[in-house]
Structure 1
Amino acid sequence: MRSVKTLLAAGAATLISSMAFAADMPIAAPPPMYAPPPPADFGGWYLRGDIGMTNQSAKRIDSVLPAGFQATNVGVGFDSSPLFGLGVGYRFNNWFRADLIGQYRGKANLHGADNLVGPGFVGSNNYGGSKSEWVVMANAYVDLGTWWCITPFIGAGVGGSYNKLSGFRDDGVQILGGPPVSSVTYFADKGQWNFAWAAHAGLAYKVNPGFTVELAYSYMDLGDAAPGNFRAFDGSISGPSTIKVRDITSHDIKLGVRWDLNSPPAYVPPPLVTKG
């Protein structure tokens, strides 16, 4: 009996010793958690693109008239035209950003007339042609807060607009002061740079951290435009043009997108089970 008790006591002592030894063994550290690599350091840079439609007008069409003549503009304006823009910008903080854009504004048909009155003369000049622009502009925007991923904003811009008149013509009609006479005068295509400025307002929707969609309105002041040298249809007269289309403005509606270049890469969790 004593031998059995001795054997049990020795076994218990061995078990306790083994448990104490196991308790003293260091516990292996857990594997490190996955951490995504740091994002590329692009600062707050972004790219942008825009498409839209213009709604343009002009204040008047000026021309040099003979002494004693007066002209009254009638129906001066333009048809709508498409616009396309690209740009690069920088976000300085959560509410202020700026960008530099280049914009092409497609050909818009020009229409308008002058009613002419002079000594013993009543007639009209009917104008036609088309106009297009290249615009380079620096803009600054203030974001007014975000609600349900929608951010209203306002902004302003300054730059230059290259206004080009193409296919410009003057169809003149003499109504009083002799027998009715019609004439057609053609003008060469011509473009010129003008100071331009704009005011902006719109709504931005953040689709994901790196992609934003905008619906925006812009008021654009594009300056003046003028055709090139003129020539009568019968070659009877020719020379430099004295016609100017004054104070061209436009109400634009645009759909834009912005791609943030500093958005972090997508998080990819480690596999739950590994082999090997």
Structure 2
Amino acid sequence: MADIDVKLANPPLAPGPYLRLGAGSDWPKANGFSDNNCASLQPPALFGCGTGNNGQALGASGSFEPAAVIDAAAGYRFNSWLRAEALLSWRPELEFSGQSNFLGLAGANQPVTGSASSVAGFGVAYVDLPKVGRIRPFLGAGLGVARNSLSSVTYRFPGIAANAATVTPDGSSSDLAYLLTAGISIPLNKRLDLDLAYRFSDLGDVRTSSGQAGLSRPTLPAGTKIPIGGTQAALQAHGVQLSLRYSF
């Protein structure tokens, strides 16, 4: 009788397909922009390989601000403890804020701003652990590809003049991506589950392209441009995700 009671309280999860829709928020890790090749001369590197006014390598330190994440996934449960899904993850707006450390007349205050977005596709495998009451914990890991797009990045130099700035070209790139996740599932009815998860995502790099950078200085004609090399910044984030999962 005890065995029957246990089975009724923890019925096996039936194999079959499911759909999952979710939304959440990412908190990107602190990062910074650096040259793709700090020694590049054709075109010249934006920063170069020297040391900046703060004693650190020339570059732009900062981070992307907390951002929304939207998930859509189609999956299949193989047995009571193993399932897998194809996941599409979209981060529509990633705002960068930081400071560069150029030498010379640039001064100590050198604000840097830019905007990015990311679409990533993953194959994700999950292990569902034994239930604790009504709650079922799970662990997951995924591997995929991220397509990251970055608008022009603006470097401002108020120490030179109110409108002094350098604006780099925009850029896009595709990188290997991976994620690690852990969470809990709460059954809402026979087919619908509510998933709450922590997730770490590594989406590769965001990059500006080599091209023409716009310069705004009191001593230069309007519309001045110079050739410049590309830059890059790592895109990694911790996040939380709330999803509804419907099993067929």
Interval containing the TM-score (normalised by the shorter chain): 0.7 to 0.9
Residue equivalent to 2:143 = 158
TM-superposition CA deviations, 1:81-107 (whole Å, max 9, x none): 111111110111101111011111121
- Deviation of 1:153 (Å): 0.6
Q: Give yes or no for the alignment of 1:249 onto 2:243.
A: no
The counterpart of 1:231, out of the listed 211, 214, 220, is 214
- Deviation of 1:146 (Å): 1.1
- Name which one, 1 or 2, has greater alpha-carbon Rg: 1
Residue equivalent to 1:126 = 111
Q: Give yes or no for the alignment of 1:216 onto 2:197.
A: yes
Q: Give yes or no for the alignment of 1:59 onto 2:59.
A: no
TM-superposition CA deviations, 1:22-62 (whole Å, max 9, x none): xxxxxxxxxxxxxxxxxxxx951111111111111343210
Q: Distance in 2 between matches of 1:66 and 1:189?
A: 19
Amino acid at match of 2:214: R
Which blocks of at least 5 consecutive residues in structure 2 are unaligned? 1-13, 36-44, 217-221
Conserved 8 A contact 1:58-1:248: no
Amino acid at match of 1:258: R
Conserved 8 A contact 2:106-2:157: no
Q: CA, structure 1 residues 209+66, in 2 after alignment: closer, same or farther (shift >3 Å)?
A: closer
- Deviation of 1:199 (Å): 0.5
> TM-score, normalising length from structure 1?
0.69
Residue equivalent to 1:113 = 99
TM-superposition CA deviations, 1:244-268 (whole Å, max 9, x none): 11x211111110111111xxxxxxx
Conserved 8 A contact 2:128-2:137: yes
Q: Distance in 2 between matches of 1:152 and 1:116?
A: 49
Q: Give yes or no for the alignment of 1:49 onto 2:21.
A: yes
Which blocks of at least 5 consecutive residues in structure 1 are unaligned? 1-41, 262-276
Residue equivalent to 1:143 = 128
Q: Distance in 1 between matches of 2:175 and 2:184?
A: 29
Conserved 8 A contact 2:131-2:137: yes
Residue equivalent to 1:81 = 67
Q: Distance in 1 between matches of 2:78 and 2:180?
A: 20
Q: CA, structure 1 residues 147+115, in 2 after alignment: closer, same or farther (shift >3 Å)?
A: same
5 Å-filtered alignment, 1:129-208, equals: 129-172=114-157, 180=160, 183-208=164-189
Say what the alpha-carbon RMSD is for the aligned residues: 2.4
Q: CA, structure 1 residues 156+66, in 2 after alignment: closer, same or farther (shift >3 Å)?
A: closer
Q: Distance in 2 between matches of 1:196 and 1:68?
A: 31
> SS of the counterpart of 1:208?
coil
> TM-score, normalising length from structure 2?
0.77
- Deviation of 1:73 (Å): 5.5
Q: CA, structure 1 residues 72+232, in 2 after alignment: closer, same or farther (shift >3 Å)?
A: closer
- Deviation of 1:225 (Å): 0.8
